[in-house]
């Protein structure tokens, strides 16, 4: 009994058995982190999940599955573990760059008020940490002069106007630096955009041209015109498939082996795949707090690898009914009939035969009037329509403008 047994049961959808096996593993190995993570996935009640998550974090305080569970259910605030840094802004009046979003509410060179909507995240080398930061919410914009004020302020520090009903400053969207990457990107920016660089515009042009070509092809394919045709002849085909009882080669997973199978050969093969914990991946997120600062924190999640699950495949012979041959009748008239059922032997013996599936098709042959030429074409139609149609009757239908192909679903008797 091992964790692999529990994972195999889980991969096969047998969650009850997977739970029992994982529980047995934790009893034998109390510090088996992966077994506890599987139990966290399988536990049914919130109380049990909370207890398991706490046990996992005792084994590994950084386990992403347990941390994510606690954050999702309000049992942990990751912002306590986050670091706080100053946003930056550039003075629009004297062009002083990289002023601090929290410290410099006014430009230290010309005294101009900070433009809160111009704040931006710094590069790594320009990061300034904020110590013992108290967060009072996003800044308020003075409705009179537009100056950004602290979230706890009641009156504007610039003009003294009351801040009742004032709007909060606009905050930058979150940025994310994926594990293994060196640069941050906005979450609404596709990951490949940074690598593509100037190719982004070119890609849009290529997509637009491609869409135009596809659209043109569809227009040409769907563009039709009305035409007239004359019915020239009828054609029909009727088929009876004959099945024969006898030995057939087949394979199944051995837990589904037919009772009457013989000459059985067994082989180990991949039946499915399971997801096995394979460490964790940590991304770094920046969140603008709207007060001139931003928090930077790590977000970790479990990484899984796919492993094959082997089982025994049975290759065998079994006596059963199978397709053997067909009996067919066809002609170019209006007198269809089924072929004579000529069976070798009837019953359920080896070599005995029986009637199987029956198939029938009915085709009308037309001559399409296309200017000076008459173009032949055929349409397969339901028996009722085929039977009512009379030779030399006139029909109208839609044909393709470019290729002149007949649209049989538009056939109408004139």
pLDDT in tens, 322-336: 999 999 999 999 999
Confidence band, pLDDT 50/70/90 cuts, at residue 123 = very high
pLDDT single digits (tens) 292-350:
999 998 877 777 788 899 999 999 999 999 999 999 999 999 999 999 999 989 998 99
User: What single DSSP character describes residue 79?
Assistant: G
Q: What is the pLDDT of residue 189?
A: 57
> Of 259, 299, 268, which Cα lies nearest the Cα of 282?
299
pLDDT single digits (tens) 227-245:
899 999 999 999 999 999 9
Cα→Cα distances 37→7, 24, 86, 328, Å: 11, 14, 38, 63
- Mean pLDDT for the stretch of residues 125-149: 87
Question: What letters, b where the CB count within 10 A reaches 16 and e where it falls short, cover 95-105?
Answer: ebeebbbbebb
User: What single DSSP character describes residue 6?
Assistant: H
pTM as predicted: 0.54
pLDDT single digits (tens) 279-293:
778 888 899 999 999
Q: What is the pLDDT of residue 372?
A: 64
The tokens describing 89, both together, are 């802004």
């Amino acid at each position: 009994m091992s964790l692999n047994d529990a994972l195999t049961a889980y991969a096969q959808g047998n969650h009850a058995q997977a739970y029992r096996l994982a529980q047995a593993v934790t009893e034998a190995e109390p510090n088996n982190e992966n077994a506890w993570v599987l139990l966290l996935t399988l536990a049914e009640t919130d109380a049990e999940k909370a207890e398991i998550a706490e046990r996992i974090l005792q084994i590994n305080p950084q386990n992403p599955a347990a941390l994510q569970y606690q954050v999702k259910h309000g049992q942990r605030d990751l912002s306590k573990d986050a670091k706080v840094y100053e946003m930056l802004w550039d003075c629009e009046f004297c062009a002083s760059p990289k002023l601090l979003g929290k410290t410099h509410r006014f430009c230290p060179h010309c005294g101009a008020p900070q433009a809160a909507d111009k704040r931006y995240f710094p590069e790594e080398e320009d990061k300034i940490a904020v110590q013992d930061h108290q967060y009072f919410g996003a800044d308020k914009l003075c409705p009179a002069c537009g100056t950004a004020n602290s979230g706890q302020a009641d009156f504007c520090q610039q003009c003294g106007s009351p801040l009742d009903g004032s709007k909060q400053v606009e905050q930058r969207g979150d940025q994310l630096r994926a594990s293994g990457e060196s640069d941050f990107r906005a979450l609404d920016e596709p990951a490949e955009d940074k690598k593509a660089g100037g190719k982004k515009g070119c890609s849009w042009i290529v997509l637009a041209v491609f869409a135009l070509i596809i659209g043109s092809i569809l227009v040409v394919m769907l563009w039709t015109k009305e035409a007239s045709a004359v019915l020239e002849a009828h054609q029909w085909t009727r088929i009876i498939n004959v099945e024969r009882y006898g030995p057939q080669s087949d394979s199944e997973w051995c837990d589904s082996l037919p009772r009457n199978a013989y000459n059985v050969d067994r082989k180990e093969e991949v039946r499915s795949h399971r997801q096995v914990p394979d460490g964790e991946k940590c991304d770094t997120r920046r969140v603008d707090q709207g007060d001139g600062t931003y928090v930077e924190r790590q977000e970790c999640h479990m990484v899984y690898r796919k492993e094959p699950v082997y089982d025994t495949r049975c290759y065998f012979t079994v006596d059963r009914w199978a397709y053997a041959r067909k009996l067919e009748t066809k002609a170019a008239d209006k007198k269809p009939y089924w072929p004579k059922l000529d069976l070798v032997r009837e019953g359920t013996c080896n070599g005995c035969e029986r009637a199987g599936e029956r198939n029938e098709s009915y085709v009308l042959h037309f001559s399409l009037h296309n200017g000076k030429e008459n173009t032949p074409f055929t349409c397969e139609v339901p028996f009722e329509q085929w039977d009512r149609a009379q030779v030399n009757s006139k029909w109208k239908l839609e044909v393709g403008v470019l290729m002149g192909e007949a649209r049989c679903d538009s056939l109408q008797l004139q």
